[in-house]
């Protein structure tokens, strides 16, 4: 029997969702595939979703990568999309390279996935051109995220900022509210709906519902991160009940 794959996550200190949704998806996969997973985290201080606090938090990511590499994890996921996108256009590439070097320098070289980079990769894999986005952030931060994604080559047809500044409150947002939010958006010509451009805002329970409601594929930051992790581990990127990207169609 193959040893379990060790999944490392670099997590904001106030995040309570990434360590729920990622394990939920990979545990669901265990029902249909033989691979097994264990989950390990290191935390960066952050309570309010503000640009200054996000930048300070990002400065702790190197320490977290080194700590996780002490455990010889097989892949690392940086679990804060907005922190990466608020640092400047294309920053996910810089972050992934720097953090991977930190693991290599610690004699534990492992691929690093950022949720920001994973979302971009997922949209490309799905062939998306025109998208709609739901995000929990305040409008100025959401505009940064929208612009970041546009600069990666996507047309953002419509977007919603839920304007929740406290990160714990983001996690408490009821995912059952999301279908109605999406129903009020302009989805004309949209290829993919990004139901949660945030790994802290819960969305997994309603992904299938929104896909059925709209007839369009749905992606979230957590789903995209799971896909990217499985690809980095050279495992089949399939998870039951986790939306189009993990359906086995790609």
Identify whether 64 is a catalytic site residue. no
Flag whether 186 is marked binding. no
Q: How far is CA 5 from CA 86, 110, 164, 182, 199, in A?
A: 31, 12, 35, 36, 21
Strands of the sheet with 130-135, listed across from one edge: 155-161, 130-135, 192-196, 218-220
Tokens coding 171:
């996690």
End-to-end CA distance of the chain: 27
Residue 82 is assigned to a ligand binding site: yes
Residue 190 is labelled as binding a ligand: no
Does the annotation list 106 as a binding residue?
no
How far is the C-alpha of 79 from the C-alpha of 170, rounded, in Å?
Answer: 14
Q: Is 137 annotated as contributing to ligand binding?
A: yes
Alpha helices in 106-250 (DSSP H): 115-125, 139-151, 167-172, 178-183, 207-214, 221-232
Please check if 250 is assigned to a binding site.
no
80 is in an annotated binding site: yes
The response to whether 246 counts as a known ligand-binding position is no
49, 80, 86, 221: the catalytic one is 80
- Binding-site positions read 15, 80-82, 137, 167, 199-200
Annotated binding site for substrate: 15, 80-82, 137, 167, 199-200
Active site residues: 80, 198
């Amino acid at each position: 029997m193959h040893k379990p794959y060790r999944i490392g996550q670099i997590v904001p200190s106030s995040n309570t969702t990434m360590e729920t949704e990622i394990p939920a998806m990979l545990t669901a996969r265990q029902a249909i595939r033989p691979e097994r997973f264990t989950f390990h985290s290191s935390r960066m201080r952050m309570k309010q979703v503000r640009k200054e606090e996000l930048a300070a938090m990002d400065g702790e990511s190197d320490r977290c990568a080194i700590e996780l590499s002490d455990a010889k994890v097989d892949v690392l996921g940086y679990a804060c999309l907005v922190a990466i996108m608020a640092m400047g256009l294309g920053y996910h590439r810089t972050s992934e390279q720097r953090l991977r070097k930190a693991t290599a320098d610690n004699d534990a070289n492992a691929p690093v996935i950022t949720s920001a980079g994973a979302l971009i990769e997922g949209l490309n894999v799905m062939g998306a051109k025109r998208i709609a986005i739901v995000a929990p952030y305040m409008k100025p931060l959401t505009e940064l995220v929208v612009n970041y994604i546009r600069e990666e080559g996507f047309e953002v047809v419509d977007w919603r900022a839920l304007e929740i500044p406290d990160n714990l409150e983001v996690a408490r947002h009821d995912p059952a509210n999301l279908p109605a939010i999406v129903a009020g958006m302009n989805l004309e010509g949209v290829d993919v709906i990004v139901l949660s451009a945030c790994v802290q805002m819960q969305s997994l329970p309603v992904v299938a519902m929104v896909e059925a409601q709209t007839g369009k594929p749905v992606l979230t930051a957590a789903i995209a991160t799971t896909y990217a992790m499985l690809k980095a581990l050279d495992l089949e990127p399939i998870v039951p009940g986790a939306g189009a990207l993990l359906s086995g169609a790609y």
